[in-house]
Structures are given as C-alpha cells and as structure tokens.
C-alpha cells in the first residue's frame, strides 16, 4: 500500500448509524473479479435519491467521510474499502468501526479514525453546517484538527499499524521475515489435524 502521513481536505457528513457494507457496496457489485472501478457502486442505492449527501454539489471533492457510530458492520467484503478509496476517500471518521471493516481499511491504506462519540457528533454537525471546513489528520501524531472551528481530537491506532501507514509496508512481506518460525511451527503441528487433500 501507499504511505499515508497527513491527510488534509474537506469532509462529507453521513449522519447515519450502523452503515453496513451492503449499503457501502451492494452485492451485485461483488461479482466482479477486478480490484478497481468500485467507486461507481459506492452507496449506489442511496445515491439514487437526489437528496443523498453524496449528490450534494457543495461536498464534491471531499476526501474525508464523517459517519455515525458502528460504521462498516456486516459482511467482510473488502470491496467496501475499495469503493470508498476509488471514489476518492482517504479517511473515514466514526466513533466506532466494525472489526473486519477496520482491519480491511488498514490493509489497503484507507485511514480509519476513531474519535469519542461527542467529538464525532460535533464534527458531523460542523461539517454539515460548513461544507468548506478543512480538516487535517496527522497519522504520526494521532490528531485530527479543524482550526476554523477550533476543534481538535486525538485517535489511537496500534503502534505497528501507525508504522505501516507511515511507511506503506506490505503485510505479506513483513510476515515472510518470519519464515523460519513458520517452518518450525509447521513441523510441530499435531498429526490429528485435518488436511483437505
């Protein structure tokens, strides 16, 4: 993945809780065997509604999505992350993310930013009121700031996840450094364990 250090941009408010991955990318889109082109499917059923926030011209070009709690619940489809990134999002902010979605974000380089519920709620209101509000997220410092409204918040990633974002490391390459450990573990596995062969 590409390194991610500082993200500066405008945000789109998605004031809904429990946004599941079926809404982020409906299952019809999952039949594709490619990894690209999912942006057109992002929230596609909601986008049919002209009043949906993604159709609001004032928010065009925003790179940060601010959402309600429990974002990314449901299916494990990484297509949800591909769709958000393909559309142009670099970060998603919520007070709580579903575990698999969060993990998928960190594998692809979409920054999941977890902040306190009251901060998330205040940010949703602020962005809704001012579509031009500029937000800066600093991965190394673990901070999110919107100077125009005097708002600042902190977020925590696992230290190793922070390093991976900053350096854009490849997870598989990192694991293969432990090839010897893998081989010796395999030699000790109990004989009764099943094989599929």
Partner 1 sequence: MAEKVWEAHLVHRAEGEPDLLYIDLHLVHEVTSPQAFDGIRLAGRTVRRPDLTIATADHNVPTTSLDLPIEDPISKKQLEVLTANCAEFGITCFNRGDANQGIVHVIGPELGLTQPGMTIVCGDSHTSTHGAFGALAFGIGTSEVEHVLATQSLPLTKPKTMAITVTGSLQPGVTAKDLVLAIIGEIGTGGGMGYVLEYRGEAIEALSMEGRMTVCNMSIEAGARAGLIAPDDVTIAYLEGKEHAPKGEAFDAAKAAWLSYRTDEGATFDREVIIDASTISPQVSWGTNPAQVAPLSATVPSPDDFADPAEREAAIRALQYMDLVPGTPLKDIRVETVFIGSCTNSRIEDLRLAASIFEGRKVAEGLRVLIVPGSHRVKAQAQAEGLDAIFTAAGAEWREPGCSMCLAMNPDKLAPGERSASTSNRNFEGRQGRGGRTHLVSPAVAAATAIAGHLASPGDIT
Interaction of residue 187 with partner 1, rule CB under 8 A:
no
Instruction: Give min distance, CB of 128 to partner 1, in A.
Output: 14
CA distances from 91 to 105, 164, 170, 178, 190 (A): 9, 15, 19, 31, 43
Stretch that binds partner 1, among 20-28, 53-61, 122-130, 144-152 (CB under 8 A): 20-28
Alpha-carbon torsion angle 56, 95, 16, 133, nearest 10: -20
Interaction of residue 26 with partner 1, rule CB under 8 A:
yes
CA distances from 102 to 55, 77, 96 (A): 26, 12, 9
Binding residue (CB under 8 A) for partner 1 from 35, 37, 60, 129: 35
Binding residue (CB under 8 A) for partner 1 from 53, 81, 133, 144: 81
Interaction of residue 131 with partner 1, rule CB under 8 A:
no
CA 174, CA 172: separation in Å to the nearest integer? Answer: 5
Show the CA angle centred on residue 32, arms to residues 77 and 81, nearest 5°: 35
What is the contact surface with partner 1 in residues (CB under 8 A)? 16-18, 20, 22-23, 26-28, 30-35, 45, 68-70, 73-79, 81, 96-100, 103-104, 107-108, 158-160, 171-172, 174-176, 178, 181-182, 185-186, 189-197
């Amino acid at each position: 993945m590409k390194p991610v250090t500082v993200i500066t941009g405008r945000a789109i408010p998605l004031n809904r809780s429990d946004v599941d991955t079926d809404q982020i990318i409906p299952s019809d889109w999952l039949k594709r065997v490619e990894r690209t082109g999912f942006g057109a499917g992002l929230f596609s059923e909601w986008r049919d509604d002209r009043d949906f926030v993604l159709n609001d011209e004032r928010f065009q070009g925003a790179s940060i999505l601010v959402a309600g709690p429990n974002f990314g619940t449901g299916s494990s489809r990484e297509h949800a992350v591909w769709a958000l990134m393909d559309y142009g999002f670099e970060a998603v902010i919520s007070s709580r993310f579903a575990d698999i979605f969060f993990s998928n974000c960190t594998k692809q380089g979409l920054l999941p930013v977890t902040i306190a519920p009251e901060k998330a709620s205040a940010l949703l209101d602020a962005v809704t009121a001012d579509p031009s509000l500029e937000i800066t997220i600093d991965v190394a410092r673990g901070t999110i700031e919107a100077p125009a409204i005097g708002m600042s918040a902190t977020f925590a990633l696992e230290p190793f996840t922070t390093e991976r974002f900053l350096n854009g490391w490849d997870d598989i390459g990192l694991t293969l450094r432990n090839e010897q450990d893998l081989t010796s573990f395999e030699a000790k596995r109990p004989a009764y364990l099943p094989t599929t062969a």
